Amino acid sequence: MKVHSLSKREIHDITDQINKTWPTNSIGAVKNLQAYVIDVNKRVLVGNNLIAIQLEPNLIIPHLTLHELLNHFPSVEVDMNAVKFVCNGANIMRPGITDFTPFNESEIVLVKDQTHKKELAVCLSLVDDVNARKMEKGIVLNNIHHIGDIYWEMKKTIRT
């Protein structure tokens, strides 16, 4: 695994992208970032109070271990029968969702379990919450980071 520090320009570009797609004021100033390269465009970004996953140049999502930061994001709750599937990378289907907070289409949305309210996955919404509530079946959220995936396991080896 390659690790390198990012330039001020790269940090500026990343924080601009985060500020466009994450909730307002969810992160403070970022001065230093290190990139742990996984694949061509995939890397874990680690800095002062920030751990994020860059999946594409314009897609940066929060890591599931940043509980305080995750409270800024919209979320859905899933019934306990769906937890196993979500933690294995399954997309979030309408029948398993028990509760919603407001969100837009193509927005970063968290998945939490119904009982403990623990974050299970970071997803991209395929529809907004209004249309999702009307659905009886179908995929509502595309699962892109979940407990137990490569980014979760990689975090265990990174010192922050």
Q: 76-88, pLDDT tens digit by residue?
A: 999 999 999 999 9
Q: How far apart are CA 73 and CA 52, in angstroms?
A: 14
Q: How far apart are CA 66 and CA 87, in angstroms?
A: 17
Report field, pTM of the whole predicted structure over 0.75: yes
Q: 99-147, pLDDT tens digit by residue?
A: 999 999 999 999 999 999 999 999 999 999 999 999 999 999 999 999 9
3-state class (DSSP) for residue 108: strand
On whether both 140 and 120 belong to a single domain, the answer is yes
Question: What pLDDT sits at residue 160?
Answer: 61
Question: What pLDDT sits at residue 39?
Answer: 85
Q: Determine, yes or no, domain membership for 152.
A: no
Q: How far apart are CA 22 and CA 40, in angstroms?
A: 23
CA 45, 157, 25, 143 torsion-angle sign: positive
Domain of residue 93, CATH code: 2.30.130.10
Q: Determine, yes or no, domain membership for 160.
A: no
Helices (H), 22-115: 67-70, 83-86
Domain of residue 33, CATH code: 3.10.450
Amino acid identity for residue 39 in this structure: D
Q: Determine, yes or no, domain membership for 154.
A: no
Amino acid identity for residue 92 in this structure: I
Q: With contact defined as beta carbons under 8 Å apart, do 52 and 44 qualify?
A: yes
Q: How far apart are CA 59 and CA 42, in angstroms?
A: 10
Q: 34-67, pLDDT tens digit by residue?
A: 999 988 889 999 998 899 999 998 999 999 999 8
Quote the number of domains for the chain: 2
Range of the domain at 56: 2-65
On whether both 73 and 33 belong to a single domain, the answer is no
Q: Determine, yes or no, domain membership for 105.
A: yes
Domain end point (choices 65, 80, 95): 65
Mean pLDDT of the chain: 94
On whether both 79 and 37 belong to a single domain, the answer is no
